[in-house]
């Protein structure tokens, strides 16, 4: 984690409303339980929920996954995740464009964390504000897709600077769109040379084996 991000974390955790020391304790408790947490961010429609559905299906029986679903309105995504087989809590922000750490703390009370190995937080679809709020996660993953244009890292550099993983989704649509995957990778790596990149199609399953294999090592604390 770079120094700027670390400062961001300290700032957010000690300035959120409520009981900041309790929040820090909560995330220390997650680590003590052996739970690793990934904050999943993207623009609307890049495929965060579908990626989680496919991931949960592939890792069923291998690890217990919990999901905190962030949406401005509706519980549609939480219902999809529950159907996929993961314990889920929905947060509706009623207009707020990002999740904040105190929302995560409240949601965690609804999850049976004793039985979870890997916790996903699906953030609000937005490439700007979610990058500015630390949720106490171990890792940030940004999802981009071939339908949204190949200029996103250059236009929204902060999101790619604070993420450790980038997932390029909807590879199956490449024959139908003007999208240069190599250009996106070059842009993203110029901002963040440490970024780990996966290329997938949640529709066809392409690339999901590599993503899930890496997730298992991450959840076991090896990545």
> In the complex with Mg ion, which residue's Cβ is closer, 36 or 48?
48
Cβ of residue 146: shortest distance to Mg ion, in angstroms?
18
Per-residue x/- mask for Mg ion, residues 29 to 68, rule CB under 5 A?
Answer: -------------------xx-------------------
Long-range (24+ apart) CB contacts under 8 A made by 183-191 are: 183/150, 184/144, 184/150, 184/152, 184/153, 187/151, 187/152, 187/153, 187/154, 187/160, 188/153, 188/160, 190/153, 191/153, 191/157, 191/160, 191/161
Cβ of residue 127: shortest distance to Mg ion, in angstroms?
14
Instruction: Tell me how long the chain is.
Output: 223
> In the complex with Mg ion, which residue's Cβ is closer, 9 or 48?
48
Cβ of residue 53: shortest distance to Mg ion, in angstroms?
10
Q: Which residue is nearest to Mg ion (CB)?
A: 49
Cα distances (angstroms) measured from residue 9 to each of 4, 58, 184, 221: 9, 32, 27, 21
Using CB under 5 A, count the residues that bind Mg ion: 3
Give the CA angle between residues 151, 152, 157 to the nearest 5°.
Answer: 115
**Contact between residue 114 and residue 33 where contact means Cβ atoms under 8 Å apart:** yes
List the interface residues with Mg ion, window 75-114 (CB under 5 A): 77
Cβ of residue 1: shortest distance to Mg ion, in angstroms?
26
Cβ of residue 195: shortest distance to Mg ion, in angstroms?
22
> In the complex with Mg ion, which residue's Cβ is closer, 23 or 86?
86
At residue 172, the 3 state secondary structure works out as helix
> In the complex with Mg ion, which residue's Cβ is closer, 23 or 135?
135
> In the complex with Mg ion, which residue's Cβ is closer, 13 or 144?
144
Rg (CA), the chain: 16
Cα distances (angstroms) measured from residue 33 to each of 26, 37, 52: 11, 12, 22
At residue 182, the 3 state secondary structure works out as helix
Question: Which of these ranges, 29-37, 74-82, 85-93, 144-152, lies near Mg ion under the rule CB under 5 A?
Answer: 74-82
The answer to whether residue 137 forms part of the interface with Mg ion (CB under 5 A) is no
> In the complex with Mg ion, which residue's Cβ is closer, 23 or 103?
103
Cβ of residue 79: shortest distance to Mg ion, in angstroms?
11
**Footprint on this chain of Mg ion (rule: CB under 5 A):** 48-49, 77
């Amino acid at each position: 984690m770079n120094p700027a991000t670390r400062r961001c974390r300290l700032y957010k955790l000690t300035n959120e409303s409520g009981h900041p020391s309790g929040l820090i304790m909560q995330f220390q408790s997650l680590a003590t339980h052996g739970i690793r947490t990934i904050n999943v961010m993207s623009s609307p429609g890049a495929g965060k929920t579908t990626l989680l559905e496919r991931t949960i299906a592939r890792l069923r029986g291998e690890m217990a996954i919990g999901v905190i679903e962030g949406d401005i309105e509706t519980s549609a995504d939480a219902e999809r995740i529950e159907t996929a087989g993961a314990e889920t809590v929905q947060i509706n922000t009623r207009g707020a464009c990002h999740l904040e750490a105190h929302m995560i703390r409240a949601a965690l009370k609804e999850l049976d964390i004793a039985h979870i190995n890997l916790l996903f937080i699906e953030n609000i679809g937005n490439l700007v504000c979610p990058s500015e709020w630390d949720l106490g996660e171990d890792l940030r993953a940004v999802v981009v897709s071939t339908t949204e244009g190949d200029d996103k890292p250059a236009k929204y550099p902060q999101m790619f600077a604070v993420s450790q993983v980038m997932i390029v989704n909807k590879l199956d649509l490449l024959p139908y769109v003007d999208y240069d995957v190599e250009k996106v990778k070059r842009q993203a790596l110029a901002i963040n040379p440490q970024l780990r990149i996966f290329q997938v199609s949640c529709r066809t399953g392409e690339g999901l084996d590599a993503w899930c294999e890496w997730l298992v090592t991450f959840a076991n604390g090896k990545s």
